[in-house]
């Protein structure tokens, strides 16, 4: 451009055209390079985002229940989605803009040196000044963006709880109060992000302020040199062009700093998820390779305390159980019944003592092998979107339709309404509470060649009438004759035939025996039984 301005009139139209064509060719090369860069940057960032989500999801699946409780659902959702998007955006911008920005700045500065060494001194002041501004804004906003992501966690938690409890909210006419609380959290998030954005918004004005001051200085100094004959008009315009290029690139860097600042806060939150060590380490013994003749479950002076709790939830738990036995666990609400059975498949890790299965500590077994042998029907029957067969295959991944149909029959599900092809809506909302419980039971008992050795029913018959419960339990014993059943229930009348009943109170076993033995010897058990007559 400088050559065209300075020499175009003197050397003629052909000179101007030749340089113009050269400029167009360079522009085409630049456009093609930019398109390739945009495509590769988008591809790389999307793949990194996909890989990150897969890694985070896989890591979360290794967490113990205690670790999941520590993080909470809302923050894990935010980190899996919003935080990954921030990192993904930063990667795309790094490839598309951040990589070439230094070349543009350094290249423009070097080319300006060839025009005039004295005018180029302005870059010695300009570039460090802008860099200092970027640094000051960055150290101020990084902690704020981390705080903002925490606020977003709260909003996600509030929304998730509201959707889950919408029926309760409507039943008690608290919609307005919930809306006010959500609005308050939303306003807090807005105020924090507005404050941070105001600080980040200083970057562009400060960058262009320094650049425009530099342009003004160059115009003043350059005009004097033109008047003195030491600088041409074309060279001055080229110099301003290089300065403008630096200015625009610095503006891009300013915006990139905001993106990278958000990504920095998000990446540290992601690393918290990936770096945490699950509190339930995997064992090294292959359960299936052992010659196990009987399922002997033994608790030896086991204690357990939830993370952050001041006292033990379970204290000095000791008992033993054998294959083919039915073990019932009863007690008042909050006595630790569910906590006790959650220790067996190692959803939580006991604090002290030991739990052995067939003479080996459960900590020695691989988690996958252990949980294939210890099946659990949870207190809350969770079903997944799809159909009945897909849900039952959580219990046995290779189960065919015939095996699944048998499990449904054992669980006393009506054939005329529920079969392997019946669709399951989100959360199983298209089934009644009793049907969801029986589907969860069918999922736990379905098996191939090897039946589960222990099946835990955590209050899994509460939605069933006594006749259905009696038939179902009879079917279960016939279908799984060698399995040990552990049943948590509030209804003593339904477990009178259990081989052993554990009575819990305040996290301690206060009675062990058959129904008749406890009824004769344990006043607390007798009082519960009398109250349920």
pLDDT above 90: residue 439: yes
- Do 301 and 269 reside in the same domain of the chain? no
| CATH number of residue 243's parent domain | 1.20.1560.10
- Calculate mean pLDDT across residues 299-312: 88
pLDDT above 70: residue 95: yes
Instruction: Measure Cα distances from 423 to 385, 406, 479 in Å.
Output: 8, 18, 26
| CATH number of residue 335's parent domain | 3.40.50.300
pLDDT above 70: residue 42: yes
Contacts of 136 (CB under 8 A, 6+ apart): none
Band the pLDDT of 500: cuts 50, 70, 90.
very high
Angle, CA of 415, 419 and 421, to the nearest 5°: 155
How many angstroms separate the CA atoms of 199 and 245, rounded? 25
In this predicted structure, which of 384-393, 435-444, 458-467 has the lowest mean pLDDT?
458-467
Residue 283: predicted pLDDT: 63
How many angstroms separate the CA atoms of 79 and 77, rounded? 5
Provide the angle, in degrees to the nearest 10, between the axes of the packed helices 122-164 and 175-200. Answer: 170
- Do 345 and 461 reside in the same domain of the chain? yes
- Mean of the per-residue pLDDT values of the chain: 86
pLDDT above 80: residue 55: yes
pLDDT above 50: residue 291: no
What's the token pair of residue 475? Answer: 């079917």
Band the pLDDT of 284: cuts 50, 70, 90.
low
Residue 421: predicted pLDDT: 92
Residue that finishes a domain, picked among 275, 305, 320: 275
Closest CA to 471 of 414, 431, 411, 418: 411
What's the token pair of residue 115? Answer: 């025009």
Residue that finishes a domain, picked among 223, 245, 275: 275
pLDDT in tens, 10-26: 777 888 888 889 999 99
- Do 70 and 113 reside in the same domain of the chain? yes
Closest CA to 450 of 392, 381, 372: 372
- Do 298 and 263 reside in the same domain of the chain? no
Residue 493: predicted pLDDT: 79
How many angstroms separate the CA atoms of 462 and 328, rounded? 14
pLDDT above 70: residue 211: yes
How many angstroms separate the CA atoms of 356 and 131, rounded? 63
Per the model's pLDDT, the better-predicted residue between 519 and 426 turns out to be 519
Residue 343: predicted pLDDT: 93
Strand partners, 107: none
- Calculate mean pLDDT across residues 284-300: 60
Please say whether the beta carbons of 420 and 404 come within 8 A: yes
Residue 280: predicted pLDDT: 66
**Domain count of the fold of the chain:** 2
Residue 214: predicted pLDDT: 84
Answer yes or no: is 182 within a domain: no
Closest CA to 267 of 153, 149, 156, 188: 149
Tell me the range of 109-123, 292-306, 316-330, 482-496 where mean pLDDT is highest. Answer: 316-330
Give the strand pairing for 326-331 and 484-488: parallel
How many angstroms separate the CA atoms of 522 and 221, rounded? 102
Give percent of the chain above pLDDT 70: 96
Place of tokens 């920005």: 101
Please say whether the beta carbons of 324 and 481 come within 8 A: yes
pLDDT in tens, 218-272: 888 888 888 888 888 888 888 888 888 887 887 787 778 878 888 888 898 899 8
- Do 43 and 105 reside in the same domain of the chain? yes
Closest CA to 479 of 514, 518, 444: 444
pLDDT above 70: residue 294: no
pLDDT above 50: residue 292: no
What's the token pair of residue 99? Answer: 């990589």
Residue 151: predicted pLDDT: 85
- Calculate mean pLDDT across residues 392-419: 89
Answer yes or no: is 3 within a domain: no
Answer yes or no: is 187 within a domain: no
Q: Give the helix/strand (H/E) hosting 219.
A: helix 203-228
Per the model's pLDDT, the better-predicted residue between 245 and 476 turns out to be 476
- Calculate mean pLDDT across residues 307-331: 90
Domain, as residue range, for 355:
287-531
Residue 290: predicted pLDDT: 41
Instruction: Measure Cα distances from 202 to 39, 86, 215, 432 in Å.
Output: 31, 21, 20, 58
What's the token pair of residue 251? Answer: 């503006």
The phi and psi torsions of 396 (rounded to 5 degrees) equal -150, 105
Exposure pattern of 189-213 as b/e (b: 16+ CB <10 Å)?
beebbeebeebbeebeebbbebbee
Exposure pattern of 127-146 as b/e (b: 16+ CB <10 Å)?
bebbeebbeebbeebbebbb
Closest CA to 220 of 209, 210, 231: 231
Per the model's pLDDT, the better-predicted residue between 160 and 434 turns out to be 434
- Do 325 and 394 reside in the same domain of the chain? yes
- Do 440 and 329 reside in the same domain of the chain? yes
Answer yes or no: is 27 within a domain: no
How many angstroms separate the CA atoms of 142 and 145, rounded? 5
What's the token pair of residue 345? Answer: 């498949």
- Calculate mean pLDDT across residues 472-497: 89
- Do 209 and 325 reside in the same domain of the chain? no
Answer yes or no: is 183 within a domain: no
Residue 217: predicted pLDDT: 85
pLDDT above 60: residue 287: no
The phi and psi torsions of 467 (rounded to 5 degrees) equal -65, -45
- Do 246 and 306 reside in the same domain of the chain? no
Residue 155: predicted pLDDT: 86
pTM given for the model: 0.69
Give percent of the chain above pLDDT 90: 30
pLDDT in tens, 136-157: 887 888 788 878 878 888 888 8
Closest CA to 491 of 523, 518, 464, 455: 464
Strands in 326-331's sheet, in edge-to-edge order, are 374-377, 454-458, 484-488, 326-331, 500-505, 508-513
- Do 257 and 309 reside in the same domain of the chain? no
Answer yes or no: is 518 within a domain: yes
Q: Give the helix/strand (H/E) hosting 433.
A: helix 433-445
Place of tokens 């399951």: 424
Contacts of 319 (CB under 8 A, 6+ apart): 298, 299, 500, 502, 509, 512
Positive or negative, the CA dihedral 445, 348, 330, 357 is positive
Within 10 angstroms of residue 421's Cβ, the number of other Cβ atoms is 10
Please say whether the beta carbons of 296 and 322 come within 8 A: yes
pLDDT above 70: residue 470: yes
Band the pLDDT of 289: cuts 50, 70, 90.
very low
- Do 359 and 251 reside in the same domain of the chain? no
Residue 9: predicted pLDDT: 66
Answer yes or no: is 33 within a domain: no
Strand ranges for 260-362 from DSSP E: 297-304, 314-321, 326-331, 352-357, 360-361
Residue that finishes a domain, picked among 275, 310, 334: 275
Q: H helices within 348-400, ranges in order?
A: 367-373, 388-392
Answer yes or no: is 262 within a domain: yes
- Do 318 and 261 reside in the same domain of the chain? no
Strand partners, 297: 321, 357
In whole angstroms, what separates CA 23 from the centre of its chain? Answer: 50
Please say whether the beta carbons of 342 and 290 come within 8 A: no
Residue 282: predicted pLDDT: 67
Tell me the range of 98-107, 345-354, 444-453 where mean pLDDT is highest. Answer: 345-354
The phi and psi torsions of 354 (rounded to 5 degrees) equal -155, 150
How many angstroms separate the CA atoms of 190 and 431, rounded? 40
């Amino acid at each position: 451009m400088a050559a065209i301005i300075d020499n175009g009139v003197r050397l003629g139209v052909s000179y101007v055209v030749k340089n113009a064509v050269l400029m167009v060719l360079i522009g085409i090369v630049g456009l093609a390079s930019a398109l390739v860069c945009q495509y590769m940057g988008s591809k790389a960032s999307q793949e990194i985002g996909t890989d990150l989500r897969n890694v985070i999801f896989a890591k979360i699946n290794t967490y113990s229940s205690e670790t999941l409780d520590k993080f909470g659902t809302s923050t894990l959702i935010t980190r899996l989605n919003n935080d990954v998007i921030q990192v993904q955006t930063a990667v795309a911008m790094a490839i598309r803009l951040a990589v070439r920005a230094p070349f543009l700045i350094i290249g423009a500065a070097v080319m300006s040196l060839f025009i005039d060494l004295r005018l180029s001194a302005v870059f010695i002041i300009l570039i460090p000044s802008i860099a200092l501004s970027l640094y000051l804004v960055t150290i101020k906003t990084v902690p704020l963006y981390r705080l903002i992501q925490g606020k977003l966690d709260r909003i996600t938690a509030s929304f998730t709880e509201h959707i889950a409890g919408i029926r309760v909210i409507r039943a008690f006419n608290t919609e307005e109060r919930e809306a006010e609380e959500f609005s308050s959290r939303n306003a807090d998030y807005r105020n924090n992000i507005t404050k941070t954005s105001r600080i980040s918004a200083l970057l562009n004005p400060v960058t262009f302020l320094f650049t425009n001051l530099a342009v003004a200085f160059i115009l003043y100094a350059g005009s004097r040199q033109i008047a003195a004959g030491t600088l041409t008009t074309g060279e001055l315009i080229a110099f301003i062009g290089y300065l403008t290029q630096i200015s625009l690139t610095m503006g891009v860097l300013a915006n990139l700093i905001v993106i990278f600042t958000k990504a920095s806060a998000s990446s540290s939150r992601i690393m918290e998820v990936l770096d945490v060590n699950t509190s339930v380490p995997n064992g090294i013994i292959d359960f299936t390779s052992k010659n196990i003749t009987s399922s002997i479950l033994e608790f030896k002076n086991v204690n357990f305390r939830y993370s952050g709790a001041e006292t033990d939830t379970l204290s000095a738990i000791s008992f033993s159980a054998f294959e083919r036995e039915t073990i019932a666990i009863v007690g008042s609400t909050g006595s630790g019944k569910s906590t006790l059975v959650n220790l067996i498949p190692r959803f939580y890790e006991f604090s002290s003592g030991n739990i052995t299965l067939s003479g080996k500590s459960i900590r020695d077994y691989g988690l996958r092998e252990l949980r294939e042998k210890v099946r659990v029907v949870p207190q809350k029957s969770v079903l997944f979107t799809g159909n009945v067969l897909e849900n039952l295959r959580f219990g046995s991944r290779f189960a065919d339709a015939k095996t699944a149909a048998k499990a449904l029959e054992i669980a006393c599900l009506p054939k005329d309404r529920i079969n392997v092809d019946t669709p399951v809506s989100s959360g199983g909302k298209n089934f009644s509470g009793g049907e969801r419980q029986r589907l969860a039971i069918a999922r736990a008992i379905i098996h191939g060649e090897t039946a589960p050795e222990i099946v835990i029913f955590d209050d899994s018959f509460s939605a069933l009438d006594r006749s259905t419960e009696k038939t179902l339990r009879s079917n279960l014993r016939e279908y799984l004759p060698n399995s040990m059943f552990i049943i948590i229930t509030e209804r003593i009348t339904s477990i009178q035939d259990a081989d052993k009943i554990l009575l819990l109170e305040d996290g301690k076993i206060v009675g062990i025996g058959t129904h008749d033995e406890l009824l004769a010897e344990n006043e607390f058990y007798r009082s519960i039984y009398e109250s349920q007559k």
